[in-house]
Amino acid sequence: MSIIRNILKNSRSNKDGNFFLLLTKILGYKPKNKELYIKAFTHRSMNIKDKKGNAVNYERLEFVGDAMLSAVIASYLFEEVPHGDEGYLTKMRSKVVSREHLNELGKELNLIDLVESKIPKSNFGNNIHGNLFEALVGAIYLDKGYKYCEAFINKRVIKPHVDIEKLEGRVISYKSLLIEWCQKEKKTFDYNVYEDTGNDDLKHFSVKLSIDEKIISKARATSKKKAEEKASKRAFFAFQKEISKAF
């Protein structure tokens, strides 16, 4: 009996009888290679290895799922938007498969309820939802092939969530958009980020965003990246009319 089969035998999800029942409802069919789906919901904290010493968790399936999502979405946009050039199609695909959107998809399906982990679910970061969604897509492709994978992405991603007009107006990174605008308009910009612990238990960072040497916005968050994005969003709304005209 393989190590994966041992996981199946001893898994909490299998014991309560809900894992494959819930999974079948999500997929719309019964899994053929059950081991793939168990791996898709096994967190690295389980510290499981196969006979060759390779880690058994969902991270490699994420890689496959990411590639399949990109391929299916690219094909859909190519057919649906015949006037779109390469740059336009790339931006639109990025909006569909953005980390934020994938996290929303994972939450929508409650995928975290299926994961096996030694870490309490309350300790997971937000990206666990998108990671599991990608791993599931990877498992579907390896289990059932391209057509089933494409059908799942159409059902769970494209039909309910891909609206071309809405996507065109969706901003996935205010920082990237603001920097692009500044460079296009030959404006100088500076993100002055510094640690700001204050009275919080968690370390925080504050940022002052200056454009043409004038402070435009300030923000505070638990990471530099989040603080910069929040400051950029505030600056975007301060210059929304000018930015809209430029693009």
pLDDT score for 95: 86
Mean confidence (pLDDT) of the chain: 89
* Domain CATH for 78: 1.10.1520.10
pLDDT score for 3: 52
For the chain, helix (H) and strand (E) counts, in that order, are 14, 3
pLDDT score for 16: 46
pTM for the whole thing? 0.71
pLDDT score for 170: 74
Task: Specify whether 85 is located in the same domain as 194.
Answer: no
User: Which of 168, 193, 225 corresponds to the end of one domain?
Assistant: 168
Which candidate, 149, 112, 157, places its Cα nearest to that of 132? 112
Residue 200, sorted as left (phi over 0), alpha (psi -120 to 50) or beta, turns out to be beta
pLDDT score for 167: 83
204 with 222: CB under 8 angstroms? yes
Beta partners for residue 214, in sequence order: 211
Residue-number span of the structural domain to which 160 is assigned:
3-168
Of the listed 16, 50, 59, 66, which one is catalytic?
66
pLDDT score for 132: 98
Of the listed 35, 80, 86, 134, which one is catalytic?
134
Could you confirm whether 66 is annotated as catalytic?
yes
Could you confirm whether 134 is annotated as catalytic?
yes
pLDDT by 10s per residue, the chain, length 247: 455 555 555 554 444 458 999 999 999 999 999 999 999 999 999 999 988 999 999 999 999 999 999 999 999 999 999 998 898 898 899 889 988 899 999 999 999 999 999 999 888 988 999 999 999 999 999 999 999 999 999 999 999 999 888 887 777 788 988 998 999 999 999 999 988 776 666 788 999 999 999 999 999 988 899 899 899 999 998 998 888 887 6
Task: Specify whether 180 is located in the same domain as 164.
Answer: no
Task: Specify whether 101 is located in the same domain as 208.
Answer: no
